[in-house]
Amino acid sequence: MTVRHELAVAALAPADFVPFGDVIEAAGEGIPINEGMAHRFHDLAAIDAGTGGGRLAISVFRARPWPRPIQVRVMERHPLGSQAFVPMSERPFAVVVAPPGPAPKPEDLRAFVTNGRQGVHYRPGVWHHPLLVLDQPADVLVLDRVGPGVDLDVVSFLAHGIFLTL
């Protein structure tokens, strides 16, 4: 018999995401620019891509909706660089994270869902699940490090039987 654990999914709030990185969104006041035709929400994520001779790459992921129920089968981290995901389609996605450090335990996991207008930035070493697009295909802008060295660690959570409550 497989044990099944539910992982609660919370609406993504910037204060809850501080241990993991930044929420990239137009929140708060903003600075009027372009003769008032736009507001700039400035410098929202300190991307770190330069470690070990790396540089920032700008890519697009075209993602299919993840099959339900969503099981947390793997968590991964990029020790050398941070990674940001910004939706290009106003479509929510789910985020599963754990703080940097040794391989996370099930109780270290936190799950969030974006509101469709929020991106996320994971600091280097933050454990995260691969991109979890929901319901409809979506294009997502991805900013991450390219460069020398192995910048990926993966741990299996398959045996833990953890499912998102979505």
Sites of contact with a copy of itself (CB under 8 A): 24-26, 30, 33-34, 37-45, 47, 56-64, 66, 84, 86-90, 117, 119, 121, 130-131, 133, 139, 141-143, 146
CB of 139 to a copy of itself, least distance (A): 5
Q: Is the CB of 3 or the CB of 37 nearer to a copy of itself? A: 37
CB of 74 to a copy of itself, least distance (A): 9
80-94: buried (b, 16+ CB within 10 Å) or exposed (e) per residue?
bbbbbbbbeeebbbb
Q: Is the peptide bond before 69 cis (omega within 30 degrees of 0)?
A: yes
Structure tokens at 30: 């903003």
Q: Is the CB of 10 or the CB of 146 nearer to a copy of itself? A: 146
Q: Is the CB of 105 or the CB of 156 nearer to a copy of itself? A: 156
CB of 108 to a copy of itself, least distance (A): 22
Give the C-alpha separation, 162 to 44, whole Å: 31
Q: Is the CB of 28 or the CB of 102 nearer to a copy of itself? A: 28
CB of 149 to a copy of itself, least distance (A): 17
Give the C-alpha separation, 166 to 164, whole Å: 6
Give the C-alpha separation, 136 to 97, whole Å: 22
The answer to whether the beta carbons of residues 64 and 132 sit under 8 Å apart is no
Amino acid at 145: R
Q: Is the CB of 53 or the CB of 130 nearer to a copy of itself? A: 130
Give the C-alpha separation, 124 to 160, whole Å: 25
CB of 7 to a copy of itself, least distance (A): 19
